[in-house]
Structure 1
Amino acid sequence: MMALYDFVLAPFVDFGFMRRALLGACLLTLAASPLGVFLMLRRMSLTGDAMAHAILPGAALGFMFFGLNLLPMTIGGLVAGLLVAFGAGAVARLTVQREDASLAAFYLISLAFGVVLISVRGSSVDLMHVLFGSVLALDSGAMGLIGGVSLVTVVAMALLWRALVAECMDPLFFRTVSRLGGFVHFAFLGLVVLNLVAGFQALGSLMVVGLMMLPAAAARFWSARVGVITLLALGFGLLSSALGLLASYHWALPAGPSIILAAGVIYLVSMVAGRRGLLSTRPQARHRTA
């Protein structure tokens, strides 16, 4: 029992930075995992990854002028993410190019531009900080940002829940019978960008989308009901945060990637052993739509 306490609880009881890291990751999970569910159901999983990269040049511009300062980097990342999201949408509507192709082009340009900016202005340490985050060094400003974004996201998703589910089930029908179709779509994209910007302070622009998508993808192997998938994704995200931080503490691993690897292990186990996974005795359940 004592060994279990030393391994699981002692790191969080004895060290304030571990408690802050766990709280920050859990707050991020409360908003990011449900968003990941709807990204997955909308078949927009790679959109989240693209948007995570798209915030980099804005954060890099904030870094160039103000250093590793939370507010300028956050504002810059938010503006860059929104510009890429709406720019890709505009290109898809005004040209022959599909939205996925235009989004890929925009995010690749943004990623390369952001890395160049940070490399020119800073050092390799600064670049690693922005790309992979510093969840073990969250300060009160970062915690306040993550907490505020999580609160806004949870409230917004509660208000838009039925509309989001309806749009996932049949987007064309929903837009036909409701004038809220366009508003819900862009509000949802705005929430995704907002959470990616808040999360990159903790997990970095390359890792933050992992906490959004991997728990959601793992939960899909256990249920076909949206509400159940969302709750499972939330649970998997919280568990990944705790396991990843413990692995980081005990084996001196980078904290952000450890959290994502923990989520990856949960995904692989779910893929094999889930009710709709590879070992399911009801193969038809694996192909039933949510």
Structure 2
Amino acid sequence: MIWDLVIQPFADFGFMRRALLGCVAISVGATPVGVFLMLRRMSLTGDAMAHAILPGAAVGYLISGLSLGAMTIGGLVAGMVVALLSGFVTRMTSLREDASLAAFYLISLALGVLIVSTRGSNVDLMHVLFGTVLALDDAALILLCSIASLSVLTLALFFRPLALECADPGFLRSVSRLSAVTHFTFLTLVVLNLVGGFHALGTLMAVGIMILPAAAARFWAVGIGGLIATAIAVAMFASLTGLLLSYHYSLPSGPAIILVAGIAYGLSLILGPVGGLAARAFPRRHFEA
């Protein structure tokens, strides 16, 4: 029974193994970045940046078709340009950062869809927006694993300033020159992981595997290390379950993965011991001496 439901799809089909490996790489690389996005109250920034990469990927598609290299470079360039432009607008005008990101996000989404639609078909547009995790090739897997490795190494090197910036960014700016470097490095990691997730889950779904497991982990852990470990576990569970649902019930794989992550978030919201609804409704009694 367990063999037929869980193991056989991956034992019999190489595309399922490739999809699972790609999702594991995204879980290890992108989900910790999502934890820091959540702690820095920048979750919606991640969503905006996910759509910011679309016009660059679309230009790459316009030049070379569904080329991994061209779309990756285009997405990276577009994401970094939008990040820098939104920061410039925030510092040089009275517009808040969330408003400037929202403006660039809407422009980028419309421009990217327009570019893809001028040359490609509806199938190509769906590929760009929702990804094709079941069609990952060797080059895509190498890219995803490389981004995951770079993300883990960078987060390990910048862990302390990132954690301090989450708690008190003003203090970090006052005691260290690493504040600007840390912020720019973190935004680079966000863009890198969104570009990697874009190849598997598309621009509309890539941010889901980054944010939803992190939000679910918030109801099970307190420390940053616990949050990261729990978020990665939730992301891997969502990836495995979503792929199996896609295989057994002919569902689109990317949305299935994100929906499972959303269900995990909903259950965590209700049952989580750290601020969940059940914990608040039925608090534990503490004995007093």
The TM tier, using the shorter chain, reads over 0.9
The alignment status of 1:70 with 2:68, answered yes or no, reads yes
Letter in 2 for 1:280: A
Match in the other structure for 1:141: 139
Matches for 1:177-196 after TM superposition, within 5 Å: 177-196=175-194
Shift of residue 5, structure 1, vs aligned partner = 1.1
Shift of residue 109, structure 1, vs aligned partner = 0.2
Distance 1:187 1:270 in 2: 31
Q: Deviations over 1:3-47 (max 9, x none)?
A: 111001110111100000000000011011100000000000000
Match in the other structure for 1:116: 114
Match in the other structure for 1:217: 215
Q: Deviations over 1:190-239 (max 9, x none)?
A: 00001101110000000000000000000001122111111100100111
Q: Deviations over 1:224-260 (max 9, x none)?
A: 2111111100100111100000000000000011110
Identity %: 59
- Structure 1 moving runs of 4+ over 6 Å: 282-285
Matches for 1:54-69 after TM superposition, within 5 Å: 54-69=52-67
Q: Deviations over 1:178-197 (max 9, x none)?
A: 11001000100000001101
Shift of residue 284, structure 1, vs aligned partner = 8.4
Match in the other structure for 2:42: 44
The alignment status of 1:238 with 2:233, answered yes or no, reads no
SS at match of 2:23: helix
Match in the other structure for 1:104: 102
Match in the other structure for 2:279: 280
Gaps of 5+ in 1: 286-290
SS at match of 2:207: helix
Match in the other structure for 1:87: 85
SS at match of 2:204: coil
Q: How many residues align?
A: 283
Gaps of 5+ in 2: 285-289
Distance 1:273 1:284 in 2: 12
Q: Aligned-pair RMSD on alpha carbons?
A: 1.2
Shift of residue 65, structure 1, vs aligned partner = 1.1
Matches for 1:143-162 after TM superposition, within 5 Å: 143-162=141-160
Distance 1:68 1:228 in 2: 38
TM-score (normalised: structure 2): 0.96
Letter in 2 for 1:278: L
Match in the other structure for 1:26: 24
Letter in 2 for 1:221: F
Shift of residue 283, structure 1, vs aligned partner = 7.7
Shift of residue 282, structure 1, vs aligned partner = 7.5
Distance 1:91 1:283, change over 3 A: farther
Match in the other structure for 1:174: 172
SS at match of 1:205: helix
Letter in 2 for 1:180: L
Match in the other structure for 2:287: none
Shift of residue 169, structure 1, vs aligned partner = 0.7
Letter in 1 for 2:241: L
SS at match of 1:206: helix
Distance 2:283 2:63 in 1: 56
Distance 2:37 2:283 in 1: 23
Distance 1:261 1:24 in 2: 18
Match in the other structure for 1:288: none
Distance 1:181 1:61 in 2: 33
